[in-house]
Amino acid sequence: MFVDYAEVKLRAGEGGNGCASFRREKFVPKGGPDGGDGGDGGDVIAEADENVADLRAYAYRKHFAAGNGQPGMGKGRTGRAGEACILKVPPGVVITNAANGECVGELLYHGERMRLLRGGSGGWGNLHFKSSVNQRPRQFKEGTPGQRGLFRFVLKSIADLGLVGYPNAGKSTLLGALTSAEPRTAAYPFTTLHPVIGILQSADPAGSARLQLADIPGLIEGAHAGRGLGHAFLRHIERCRALLFVLDLGEAAERAPEEDFEGLIAELDQYGQGLADRPRLLVGNKADEKGAMARARQFREVTGETLIPVSALLGSGLPALREAVFSFANKKSAT
């Protein structure tokens, strides 16, 4: 199960109470105050970890708390601070305060951290209250409570290229043919129900170029308005640096590829976030089927756009596509 949304209740640790104690040693019958301070409560911290794939860790467990600070002790000893609560999330997570809808921030890079809640402060021991007129103070301060809150985690996938297209266009098959990813494939629409990330390695043995490709579940008409799982799908395209449109050239396709292209552009444009203007590369899949090349030529005549014909199932055209993808990515990074 892929989880890209979660709400969690968080609590930072409470500060430990200060200590009221007095020095007790042989031959020192009236030792002064020596109560130590309480330890601070632990913070709640979110940390991006590239080894975490999604938010499934927060799908069923909804409450997380940091450790409380220990009370102060005699002989001026400070209590131990509470242990911080570290919440590991995948890069690309947007964190929102669910109580007021305010965006707290986002974590984009491995190792990046954000403190969500601050732990309470430890209280003072009676050592702080000694004065010339109060030689034996018995007062101390209690620790302060830690912050609490309800937070919403929303994952938006990060990838160099996002594969977009209508259901059954062959995006998953293409991703599997280009990378080592193993997305689920079948001869019916909506086989893919969540984004799948694959790594495209440069064909040059001496090269170390790598690109992340994200297979975005198929869009349908009205996706921008939330029809189907439109918003859940489209938000994963927001962080893709460029888009790889996968159009169906097969003879069994319901629409001509130019109609698919125009429909996809319309959905992205109505969703906003500048997705329709994102740099794009066009791929025509199922080029091995009868009449596919004629449909590709018609597409170019109607739209003025050029697409790369491939057959993800048979592997034809994939070397040229791989080369075009890296050339396209290098050109965009240079600009």
Higher pLDDT residue, 36 or 216?
36
- The phi, psi pair for 187, rounded to 5°, reads -90, 45
Angle at 232 between CA 230 and CA 236, to 5 degrees: 105
Q: What is the pTM of this model?
A: 0.72
Percent of the chain with pLDDT over 70: 87
Distance of alpha carbon 130 from alpha carbon 126, whole angstroms: 7
In percent, the amount of the chain with pLDDT more than 90 equals 41
* pLDDT band for position 194 (cuts 50, 70, 90): low
Specify the 3-state DSSP secondary structure of 101: coil
Instruction: Determine the pLDDT at residue 326.
Output: 86
Question: CA angle 200-201-202, nearest 5°?
Answer: 125
More confident residue, 270 or 122: 122
> Could you tell me how far CA 65 lies from the centroid of its own chain?
21
Confidence tier at 10 by pLDDT (50, 70, 90): very high
Q: How far is CA 128 from CA 1, 11, 147, in A?
A: 55, 29, 25
Looking at per-residue pLDDT, the higher value among 154 and 26 belongs to: 154
Distance, CA of 203 to CA of 57 (rounded, Å): 36
Output 312 or 25, whichever has higher pLDDT.
312
Category of 107 on φ-ψ map: left (φ > 0), alpha (ψ -120 to 50) or beta = beta
DSSP letters for 199-218: EEEPS-TT---EEEEEEPPP
Top pLDDT among 246 and 334 is at: 246
Least confident of 73-77, 91-95, 139-143, 202-206: 202-206
pLDDT for 218 equals 57
Taken in order of first residue, the domains within the chain and their CATH numbers are 1-155 (2.70.210.12), 161-334 (3.40.50.300)
The side-by-side arrangement of strands in the sheet containing 161-164 is 196-201, 210-215, 161-164, 242-248, 280-285, 308-309
Task: Please state at what angle helix 257-271 crosses helix 292-303, rounded to 10 degrees.
Answer: 50
* 330 backbone φψ class: left, alpha, beta (φ>0; ψ -120 to 50): alpha
CA distances from 311 to 17, 137, 189, 287, 315 (A): 69, 84, 18, 5, 6
Give the residue from 14, 89, 98, 96 showing the smallest Cα distance to 53: 89
pLDDT of residue 332: 59
CB 152 within 8 A of CB 139: no
Task: Note the pLDDT tens digit of each residue in 96-135.
Answer: 999 999 999 999 999 999 999 999 999 999 989 988 888 8
Query: Per-residue pLDDT tens for 230-266?
Result: 455 677 778 788 899 999 998 877 788 999 899 888 8
Residue 111, Cα to own-chain centre: how many angstroms?
13
42 CB contacts (<8 Å, ≥6 apart)? 12, 13, 66, 67, 68, 69, 81, 82, 83, 84, 85, 119, 146
Please check the confidence at residue 193 and state whether its pLDDT lies above 60.
Answer: no
CA distance 182 to 21: 65
Helix, strand or coil, per DSSP, at residue 243: strand
Task: Look over the chain and give the mean of its residue pLDDT values, rounded to a whole number.
Answer: 84
Is residue 220's pLDDT more than 60? no
pLDDT band at 192 (very low <50, low <70, confident <90, very high): very low
CB-based contacts of 60, cutoff 8 Å, min separation 6: none
